[in-house]
Structure 1
Amino acid sequence: MDFTPTEEQEAARELAARILGDLATHERLAAAGSGTDAELWKALCAAGLPAAVEEIGLLGLVLLLEEQGRVTAQVPLAATGAYGLLAVARHGTAEQRDRLLPGLREGTAVATGAFPATGAVTATGTVIATGAGDPGRGRLTGGVGWVPWLRDATHVLVPDAERVLWLVRTEDAGVEPVELTAPWSAGRLVLDDTPAERLGRAPEAYEDVLAVARTAFAGLQAGVCAGSLARAVAYTSVREQFGRPLATRQAVQLRAADAYMDTEAIRVTAYEAAWRADTGRPGAAAALTAAWWASEAGKRVVHSGQHLHGGMGADLDHPVHRHFLWGRQLDAYLGGGTALLAALGDLLAEAEPGAGPEASPGPDPDPTPEGESR
């Protein structure tokens, strides 16, 4: 395994870090509330970063999301990258790619996914599809309790009970505002005989998009944790107690060291899962492993970051509190450590003897809905 970024991936990461560092300030983030920072999103799109995702791959997207997580920038990069750009590029037909990708690259279209990365649809009713003789078209009925960045999205990817992926235009669906722990532009999705178009083959496309989403949001968590830890290190290096900086205390050093190791574990497992996806290797178990570290270790790190700030960490307006909120929201979105570990155990138990634990399919270069000829 070699996780060394290519020149293109490193250039994209450095550009993202520069733009995010300049624009994603604490004051701007506080002013944005739960909405997207439109100026920041426009700057990222003008720089060609969403458009570069197809070229730099999932590992490149993870690198970009790390930089976003460091500053908890209010932009829908993770959602539109995993559920839009990569999903359509890997599983869309030629016609779908030609029609949908330009808008996603430019940022005029934003995509998200109407399911938690655990793979279980949290629905107010069963999401069902009823076709009218066209296997590539359907109508959906049901709902999903909360979808990240739904209020910004133009398209939402919805799995039905059979794990068929359907692409829905949000203008055709009902979107109700939802307030989350983290200030994400989330919403409740309501489907009532809503028209939809099919994406990829079931269940291969569903499993692949799910693994990509788990990996992408784990990369985002790696950045959130790195940013939280960086703030804690900076604070404890200058905050004195009894005439000595807090950073000289052994208990503080050990707590920070544990947080650093947890952060590195999240990062390296996300890198491995992304590398597997980009090289066409099976990656379901790797994606689950990355998601477990991001969920289980991520909440430890953001708790440590807040704790190491002492009384300042209890200030809801302090920048480190945003990392705490994001870390806990990502833990919930990924499904929680216990559920992820159970899913990983089921995957390993189902693997055929001698076949290894991985079972994630690669992309379909030109998928065609079942029932249609190539």
Structure 2
Amino acid sequence: MDFTFSEEQQAVVEAARAVFAPVAPDGVPSPALTSGAVADDFDRALWAKAAGADLLSLLIAPDYGGAGLDAIALCLVLREAGKVLARVPLLEHSAAAATVQAHARPEVRQRLLPDAGRGETVLTVASAGRTGHDTADLAVTARRAPEAGGGDRGDRDNGSDWVLDGMQTAVPWAWNADRIVVPAHTPEGATVLALLPGPATEVRGRTLAEQISTTGERLAELRLEGARVASDDVIEDPAAWPLLHALLTTGTCALALGLGERVLAMTSDYASKREQFGHPIATFQAVAVQAADRYIDLRAMEVTLWQAAWRLASGAAGQLPLAGDVAVAKTWASDGVRRVVQTAQHLHGGFGADTDYPLHRYHAWAKQLELALGPAAAHEEALGDLLATHSLG
């Protein structure tokens, strides 16, 4: 079996490196040094460069001006973005666009996707639930609006608006997005996705409250109290939310991998130059063993990521559903990225705790990614349930 990346995927990596390599993570203030968000907006200049390199349209079909590539290509780009802590909504935007393409109505696809591919329409996703630890699709309810003029025939009227009630916390990039994809559950127990307009468009019953992430980025608490969404802007396909959730999770693992690889490279460079007792500390067995353990973590993060991304991209059947491969990738990414940055801070000594040193920002981002992925123990439990349900015999 050939495990090498295709020519198209390798070309995407080269394009991503050209866009992200010049980014200097130490050019953004450490969250520990600011009283609020590190910036009011994401990096618009970098966003424009990514759009110019066609990195925002990777998963969009050529019919809508995109590259027509798959989740593996997206993860390759996110890996490069994670290495420099790129402050752009690439993951949320790409996952939302792919979901719209796969499951939205044709007129919605035609209206949103060309502009999304050019970066002119920015998409994000509310996926953290009420607290960040519960299921996002149960945090908001969605029901058909009653017909104008009385008489509630909304459940039978497919042209009715939808009414949303509930709350989603820690919505990334919400203050600057043009559309916020909000998962919600209906009275019948189905999950729909509402394409809610961003804050630049007034929506009655929608309020945003500022939150600051561990990374110092500006998040939003999204509250919905009878907020109406047009029927065309609601995706009712039951397969839409599982796809969106899998793309977000797998992409987060890719960001964690890129971040971890850069941190290990920083640690290797420091340990090879920092001397004690007349020798570089990299030559000490205790240091070398710790670095080797973290290298093993990264290789495990990598192989489980590509397994999940391949299953997601190909739709290949397996003995376990896709959720099993995603759970394994999440387990390694959540624990692995934490161990990598902790070891890096330890081996850097005093520099590891210096908020002016770039490693501090990497630690903050790693903690945010770990929180987004959730505890490894929970994923192991989920994997155990899947193994119990789907016999491997």
Same fold (TM over 0.5): yes
* d(CA) in 1 for partners of 2:177, 2:379: 27
Instruction: Report the TM-score, using the length of structure 1 for normalisation.
Output: 0.87
Residue of structure 2 aligned with 1:271, choices 297, 300, 306: 306
Corresponding residue for residue 296 of structure 1: 335
How many percent of aligned residue pairs carry the same amino acid? 36
Aligned letter for 1:30?
A: P
Structure 1 residue 98: deviation in Å? 0.9
Structure 1 residue 27: deviation in Å? 4.3
Corresponding residue for residue 53 of structure 1: 59
Aligned letter for 1:167?
A: L
* d(CA) in 1 for partners of 2:371, 2:3: 28
* d(CA) in 2 for partners of 1:29, 1:42: 18
Q: 2:59 touches 2:94 (CA, 8 Å); kept in 1?
A: yes
Corresponding residue for residue 66 of structure 1: 79
Residues 303-340 of structure 1: per-residue CA shift (max 9 Å, x gap): 11222211100001211111111111111011221222
Using the TM superposition, name which of 185-194 and 226-235 deviates more. Answer: 185-194
State the aligned residue count: 350
* d(CA) in 1 for partners of 2:8, 2:139: 43
Instruction: Report the TM-score, using the length of structure 2 for normalisation.
Output: 0.83
Corresponding residue for residue 25 of structure 1: 24
* d(CA) in 1 for partners of 2:93, 2:77: 13
Q: 1:110 touches 1:154 (CA, 8 Å); kept in 2?
A: yes
Q: 1:119 touches 1:210 (CA, 8 Å); kept in 2?
A: no
Structure 1 residue 348: deviation in Å? 2.7
* d(CA) in 1 for partners of 2:139, 2:75: 32
Corresponding residue for residue 36 of structure 1: 42
* d(CA) in 1 for partners of 2:371, 2:127: 12
Residue aligned with 1:52, SS: coil
Stretches of 4+ aligned residues off by more than 6 angstroms: none
Aligned letter for 1:81?
A: S
Corresponding residue for residue 13 of structure 2: 13
Residue of structure 2 aligned with 1:222, choices 257, 264, 267: 257
Corresponding residue for residue 148 of structure 2: none
Aligned letter for 1:278?
A: A
Q: 1:175 touches 1:189 (CA, 8 Å); kept in 2?
A: yes
* d(CA) in 2 for partners of 1:152, 1:143: 19
Residue of structure 1 aligned with 2:388, choices 318, 333, 349: 349
Structure 1 residue 29: deviation in Å? 2.8
Residue aligned with 1:143, SS: strand
Query: Which of structures 1 and 2 has the bigger CA Rg?
Result: 2
Structure 1 residue 281: deviation in Å? 2.0
For residues 317 and 189 of structure 1, do their structure 2 counterparts lie closer, same or farther at Cα, with a shift above 3 Å needed?
A: same
Residues 196-248 of structure 1: per-residue CA shift (max 9 Å, x gap): 3322412x222222112111110111001111111111111111111111111
Q: Mind listing any 5+ residue stretches in structure 2 that lack a counterpart?
A: 31-36, 61-67, 146-153
1:1-374 correspondence runs (5 A): 2-22=2-22, 24-30=23-29, 33-34=38-39, 35-54=41-60, 55-82=68-95, 84-116=96-128, 120-121=134-135, 126-132=139-145, 133=154, 134-135=157-158, 137-161=161-185, 162=189, 163-171=191-199, 172=203, 173-196=206-229, 197-202=233-238, 204-282=239-317, 283-351=322-390, 353=391
Residues 88-109 of structure 1: per-residue CA shift (max 9 Å, x gap): 1222222221111112111122
Structure with more relative contact order (C-alpha pairs < 8 Å, separation 6 or more): 1
Using the TM superposition, name which of 223-232 and 28-37 deviates more. Answer: 28-37
Q: 2:58 touches 2:94 (CA, 8 Å); kept in 1?
A: no
Q: Mind listing any 5+ residue stretches in structure 1 that lack a counterpart?
A: 357-374
* d(CA) in 2 for partners of 1:275, 1:325: 29
Aligned letter for 1:325?
A: A
Q: 2:164 touches 2:227 (CA, 8 Å); kept in 1?
A: yes
* d(CA) in 2 for partners of 1:309, 1:44: 33
Residue aligned with 1:158, SS: strand
* d(CA) in 2 for partners of 1:184, 1:40: 16
Q: 1:36 touches 1:185 (CA, 8 Å); kept in 2?
A: no
Aligned letter for 2:38?
A: G
* d(CA) in 2 for partners of 1:100, 1:325: 33
Q: 1:145 touches 1:189 (CA, 8 Å); kept in 2?
A: yes
* d(CA) in 2 for partners of 1:101, 1:302: 37
* d(CA) in 2 for partners of 1:135, 1:223: 44
Q: 1:214 touches 1:288 (CA, 8 Å); kept in 2?
A: no
RMSD: 2.2
Aligned letter for 1:16?
A: A
Q: 1:116 touches 1:335 (CA, 8 Å); kept in 2?
A: no
* d(CA) in 2 for partners of 1:280, 1:195: 35
Q: 2:25 touches 2:85 (CA, 8 Å); kept in 1?
A: no
Corresponding residue for residue 150 of structure 2: none
